[in-house]
Copies of this chain bind each other. A is one copy, B any other.
Amino acid sequence: MTKILLLHGPNLNLLGAREPEIYGAVTLDEINRRLTAFAEARGVELRTAQSNSEGALIDALQQAMVWADGVVFNPGAYTHTSVALRDAIAGSGLRVVEVHLSNVHARESFRAKSLLAPVCAGQISGFGWRSYRLGLEALLGEFEE
């Protein structure tokens, strides 16, 4: 059975409460629920995790090496500053899809640059909570090849 980690970075635990004009009104729990249902319908096991700590996200990626077939990862603001997460992704050997709720290319210029995308399979940004669903589909599509 295919197993996927759905990993959320800093401040995403506040989704729904925080700046809804940018991030939408759906909560993180609701996103996890929708994605879990979507995964189950495809016979895929989904585990979810969130942390505000760069180190804890690295830990989660390392632990996923032993059980997960891939990762859908919204690294939040660490997208733009974390070489350590980049190394964790590259070193894990896991297939990771980077997703963003908002269109990071249309915001402050420092958000256009991703340190992680070069070591991910691909990047999806701008479609609200649907970015996650598209990311999961993209990941499953990769396994078909």
B contact residues around A134 at 8 Å (CB):
124, 134, 137-138, 141
Number of this chain's copies in the assembly equals 12
4 tightest A-B contacts by CB?
A122-B126, A53-B55, A105-B117, A18-B91
| Size category, A interface | 35 or more
Q: Given A54-B54, A76-B84, A87-B77, does the pair A125, B126 have CB atoms closer than 8 Å?
A: no
Give me the interface of A with B, judged by CB distance under 8 Å: 9-11, 13-14, 17-19, 51-56, 58-59, 62, 65, 76-78, 80-84, 86-88, 90-93, 97, 103, 105-106, 110-114, 117-127, 130-131, 133-134, 137-138, 141-142
Complexed CA–CA distance, A29 and B130 (Å): 28
Q: Are B84's CB and A84's CB within 8 A?
A: no
